[in-house]
Amino acid sequence: MPATASPLLVACLCAEWCGTCRDYRPLLEQLGRERVGQVEIAWVDIEDHDEVPGTLDIEDFPTLLIARGDDVLFYGTVLPHAQTLARLVQSALDGDLGVVSLPGLAGLPSRVRDACT
C-alpha cells in the first residue's frame, strides 16, 4: 500500500440479534490488530444506526463493506470466515478490486465512519 493511501474501511453491516453477524466481531478485531495503519474496522448494527444504510435495503446479514475513502471496493453478503476476509482485504490492498457502483452506495463509507465515532 502506498504510504499516502488512506486505510481501508472494513465494516460488517449487521444486526445484534444475528449470531452469524456477531461471529464477525473477533475476525474484525484480529484483522485490526494484524493490519494496523492499513485498515480501520467497524461493526455496525444497522437497526441501532438506521441512518447508515440510507436508501440501501440490506436484507441479508452479514453484509461486508470494504472501502478506501469514499470508494466502495466490495459490498456483499459474506459469511464470517477468516481466510475469505483476509483474501478480500489483501485484494483491496493490492489494488485488485475495482470501484463498485450500485444505487445507494454513495456516501455509505462516510455514514459508517460517522456511526462509529
Domain ranges of the chain: 8-115
pTM of the shown model: 0.92
* Residue pair 42/13 in contact by the 8 Å Cβ criterion: no
Q: Cell for 52?
A: 447508515
pLDDT at 44: 94
Whole-number Å distance between alpha carbons of 66 and 72: 6
Q: Is 83 a residue whose pLDDT tops 90?
A: yes
Residue 65 has pLDDT above 50, yes or no: yes
Q: Which residues, 6+ apart, have CB-to-CB distance to 62 below 8 Å?
A: 12, 13, 14, 18, 20, 21, 24, 77, 78, 79, 80
Q: Which amino acid is at 59?
A: E
**Distance between the two ends of the chain, CA-based, in angstroms?**
25
Tell me the CATH number of domain 8-115, given options 3.90.1150.10, 3.40.390.10, 3.40.50.1970, 3.40.30.10. Answer: 3.40.30.10
What's residue 3's pLDDT? Answer: 41
